[in-house]
Amino acid sequence: MKTHKLLFFKIILILYMIISFTLGVCGQSRNVNQSQLIMNTIGKPENPYYSHTDTTKLNLSDAEWKKILPEDLYEVSRHAATERPFTGKYWNADLKGTYYCAACGNELFRSEAKFASTCGWPSFFEQENEKSTVFRKDSSLGMIRIEVLCGRCGGHLGHIFDDGPPPTGKRYCMNSIALNFMPD
């Protein structure tokens, strides 16, 4: 009788541990996704040019961008700063959805074109459409690289390399801060 009771308590204890662990882990990841989602659905009242539908090219002065962009985005988008690897919000994100330019809302990448890269920045093998991005030769920092700019606002997004996966073999190496993700 005593051993039966003991066994019963042991089973209850194990079940309790399994349930609380599962809930804890799921609860945590749900919280992250939820807060990410809420952050991304907040409008940008301070930026009247931000739009997911208007494709008119933007030609704003540096002073105007400085007024409407958050400081960290302004430094990347307008002065080609680079965020530290493994620090951005999207380098290991794998939710289904669309990545827009954080400065102007231009459609840049679909999550289907994103791949797990070890470089610490969100990486894509192709852009969403031919107007998504434009390229420019960049010979800063003693290297010859191809800079990737937003096709609508001309903001700096990152660089493109030839070491990506099939079918394109390209790796669009982007700054998370320059992207705005909207889940499907």
Catalytic residue set: 173
93 binds Zn ion (CB under 5 A): no
Residue of the chain from 103, 113, 148, 177 that contacts Zn ion (CB under 5 A): 103
C-beta of 88 vs 155, nearer to Zn ion: 155
153 binds Zn ion (CB under 5 A): yes
Contact between 174 and 160 under an 8 Å Cβ cutoff? The reply is no
155 binds Zn ion (CB under 5 A): yes
**Exposed, middle or buried by CB within 10 Å (0-12, 13-18, 19+), for 2?**
exposed
Helical segments of 54-163, H only: 62-68, 71-79
Residue 169 Cβ vs Zn ion, minimum distance, rounded to whole Å: 25
Contact between 48 and 60 under an 8 Å Cβ cutoff? The reply is no
Residue of the chain from 110, 114, 152, 156 that contacts Zn ion (CB under 5 A): 152
Q: Long-range contacts of range 69-73, CB-CB < 8 Å, 24 or more positions apart?
A: 69/103, 72/177, 73/102, 73/103, 73/177, 73/178
C-beta of 98 vs 106, nearer to Zn ion: 106
Residue of the chain from 69, 73, 93, 101 that contacts Zn ion (CB under 5 A): 101
Interface residues with Zn ion (CB under 5 A)? 101, 103-104, 106, 150, 152-153, 155
